[in-house]
Amino acid sequence: MINNKINRASLNHTYYSASDSDFSTCTIVLYQEAEQLLEWIADHSIAAPLAYLKQQIDKKNKCIHCRLSDTDTTDLIIISIDATPQQVNKLTIAAGLETADIAASDFLIVGELVDAAQDAKVRYLCKHIAAALKIWAHDGKLYKADKSDQSRSVDQINYKGNLKPQHDLTAGVKLGTSMVKVMDLVNAPSNRKTPREMAAWIKQSSEEHGYKLTIMEMEELISKGFHALIAVNRGSEIGAKCLIAEYRPSGASTHVVLVGKGVTFDTGGISIKGANNMHYMKSDMGGAAAVMGTIDLAASLKLSVNITMIVPTTANSVDGLSINPGDIIDSYSGKKIEVINTDAEGRLILADALAYAVEKYPSDHLVDLATLTGSVVRALGTETSGFMTHNDDLARSIKRAGEATGERTWRLPLWKEYHSYMESDLADISNLASKPMAGAITAAKFLEFFVDEHPSWVHLDIAATAFGKMSGYKDYAATAYGVDLLCTWLQTLEND
């Protein structure tokens, strides 16, 4: 039995047990056959609206909620074991809890209607239900004075069935915990999320989980030659930082470097954005948040993979000192960059971080995440991120992880012909393509110029997926996209 309370003020450790009880305040039933489900409801004399349930099942609704008048069970949630991860995952379940206005604090997962051949699916659902409850119970209204209507708690999560999914429930709570921390970070406004706060976030995580953290300040960035990062930072009041975290579990052999774009607010610089929706640019560090959340979760799960996380972080502001379109700047790699558009700043700071990663941290895999282009949104919509790599094996493994978590990815080409779009007459490369097309791909071609032909590099453009419509929010909000995806992928590397 879970004895702890997960409330909106404090998220503590959670404990589980098997249960002999048939019901809880909110009972979540996993089912395989609709007829068997309806018989189970009848056998337990549950006052559920059977006609409504049949209708929803016929409509292929995979997650159904019923409000009951029973004094013992006020809410019944039905989840089909045949649901795909895209249909039922931590965010869709949390959205269902939010929409249903669940008032319960005790939860029972019933898995006895599912045969043993489906154990993997049951484990997946237990993990995502636990994560969803953590997300649902969390107060994302960070700065409201009146929190009187925001109290939710999860006092117990029990499981009834032959399976023992305690490990999966624990992993789900850890996933949800890292995700809500990432959500709060991305949702925070720029005046409460400068490079200082970014550093404080990862410092707290490193102290909690015991991994090494190095924070490069401006003086060190200058001395080491992070010229592109410093150039973007020139218009900002607060200096840039580069955050480097090193997680080194005993016995791990595979080394992965994760790099995330950490632009805490993007005005566009001198190539200034329009006023409409500029406030969403507080989310332009979504790539950084994803890799920060990933190392936080990986350390919490004690994954057996060596991980180095590198986050260059700065605002992109407008000032008399800001770089101008047409400027030619240096970079850590020694390559010169012609800045055609100052709103293509994320790739500039990533250029330094990637070059530094290749030089200082030899790795089996190099992964970068960034809310990099509007082009990827126009190309793919908001249902998936776009990713680019020359490594087919890496592409397959990233795609499988996306399909397994409900965080979908779609591969775009990196053909050599696209490099000509980025050529400059005056410098080694331009930061914006000469043709108004293929923007997500040409951005990746720019980054590729700084990874020194790393044999297993992949770039994920998460501009469409890191921030969007979320249940419980009137406006767009953070999704924590990438945390589950990357950790699921990292788990496949544990035995490499």
- The answer to whether 17 and 66 have CB atoms below 8 angstroms apart is no
Residue 347 appears among annotated catalytic residues: yes
CATH number for the domain running over 179-491: 3.40.630.10
What stretch(es) of the chain map to CATH 3.40.220.10? Answer: 6-161
In sequence order, what E strands does 279-375 have?
306-316, 328-329, 337-338, 365-370
Per annotation, catalytic residue among 273, 399, 408, 411: 273
> Closest by alpha carbon to 449, among 326, 320, 304, 347?
347
Better-scored residue on pLDDT, 495 or 397: 397
* From 134, 241, 347, 445, active-site residue: 347
Phi and psi torsions of 28, nearest 5°: -110, 110
Q: Residue 192 pairs with which residues in a beta bridge? A: none
Give the pLDDT of residue 2: 30
Distance CA 258, CA 245 (A): 10
The per-residue pLDDT for range 403-452, each reduced to its tens digit, is 999 999 999 999 999 999 999 999 999 999 999 999 999 999 999 999 99
Tens of pLDDT along 443-488? 999 999 999 999 999 999 999 999 999 988 889 999 999 999 999 9
pLDDT band at 16 (very low <50, low <70, confident <90, very high): very low
End-to-end CA distance of the chain: 36
234 catalytic, yes or no?
A: no
Pairing of strands 255-260, 306-316: parallel
Residue 11 has pLDDT above 70, yes or no: no
Return mean pLDDT, the chain.
92
Per cent of the chain over pLDDT 90 is: 84
Is the domain 6-161 a CATH 3.40.220.10 member? yes
**CA 291 to CA 306: how far, in whole Å?**
14
Confidence of residue 10 (pLDDT cuts 50, 70, 90): very low
Q: Where in the chain is the domain with CATH 3.40.630.10?
A: 179-491
| Residue 71 backbone phi and psi in degrees, to 5 | -75, -25
What is the model's pLDDT at position 150? 63
pTM over 0.85: yes
